[in-house]
Amino acid sequence: MGSFKGHALPGSFLLMFGLWWSVKYPLKHLSKRVKTNCHSSLFYQRLELIEGLVKASFALIGILGEHFTSNGPHMQLVNGEDHSWVKLMNWQHSTMYLFYGLSGVVDMLTYFPLKVPVGLDRLSLSLAFFFEGFLFYFHVHNRPQLDQHIHSVLLIAIFGDAFSTFLEVFMRGHVVLEFLRASLTILQGTWFWQIGFVLYPPSGGPEWNQEDHSNIMFITMCFCWHYVIALILTAINYSLVYCFVNRQRWSNCEMDVGIWKLNSDKDEKAVLLAGSEEE
């Protein structure tokens, strides 16, 4: 992650999942009230399987990217010549990806006929968030002030995600917790991009003064703005899903009314025919 691309990759991964959750969970809860094609256990099982596969695939891409780039450790942990550690920062990043990969595997196993305990998928995701934060906490020691601060505020979103997801183990399907997880994951994703722009400006942009306290104040305020944007995106997606589900409901109602009228016409014709035969 010691580059702009290194922060853009996990940022894109988390942003994509946060936005997806902000659509999936409203669809799941709102469609329960309506008889739509979206509300079936088989439909959601397939979605969960695909989600787990995508999560595991992204994690694998992240691990390979950390190890097999030109300056990566290439799976070498200790230098055989002087017995020194090799690229420990890359190893830490790949460890973060590893836990997300395990979470993806558990997601897939949960929806296979293996009778995996209910809630294990949420627990594995909570652990992935927790170990991401745990590794990040010890990740930025002895760095410039701005570098430390911009990574430290990220811990709020990471541990918030870990805690809310852990609560879902015991309160599965709690819509508020699911929305909280979605918004905090969006926040993580956008903030990784922000870190990339601040510490590794692309296209030769101006560098930030990492010892200027006013920059630290701005970054703190900017983090709050990012969460406001995350909440707005979550609300917009909820509104769009709500409109979609309502539209489906009215379509179903019109279809039911049409079928009822058709059946009524058939019954009336049958009665008339029966009456004419009696005459």
Count other Cβ atoms within 10 Å, centred on residue 249: 16
261 domain residue, yes or no: no
- Radius of gyration over alpha carbons of the chain, in Å? 26
Q: Is residue 266 part of a domain?
A: no
Is 262 inside any structural domain? no
User: Is 268 inside a domain boundary?
Assistant: no
In a 3-state reduction of DSSP, which class is residue 84? coil
Residue 277 within any structural domain of the chain: no
List per-residue pLDDT tens for the chain, 279 residues long: 678 888 999 999 999 999 999 999 999 888 876 655 555 677 778 888 999 999 999 999 999 988 888 788 888 889 888 888 988 888 999 999 999 999 999 999 988 777 788 899 999 999 999 999 999 998 888 888 999 999 999 999 999 999 999 999 999 989 999 999 999 999 999 999 999 999 998 877 788 998 899 999 999 999 999 999 999 999 999 999 999 888 876 665 555 555 555 555 555 555 555 555 555
The answer to whether residue 162 is domain-embedded is yes
Work out how many domains the chain is built from and give that number.
Answer: 1
Can you give the residue range of the structural domain that contains 242?
4-247
Contact 119, 170 (CB under 8 A): yes
Q: pTM of the full predicted structure? A: 0.86
Of 29, 74, 3, which is closest to residue 178 (Cα–Cα)?
Answer: 29
Residue 275 belongs to some domain of the structure: no
Point out which residues pair with 78 in neighbouring strands: 85
Instruction: Dig out the tokens for 251 from the structure.
Output: 């379509």
Q: Is residue 256 part of a domain?
A: no
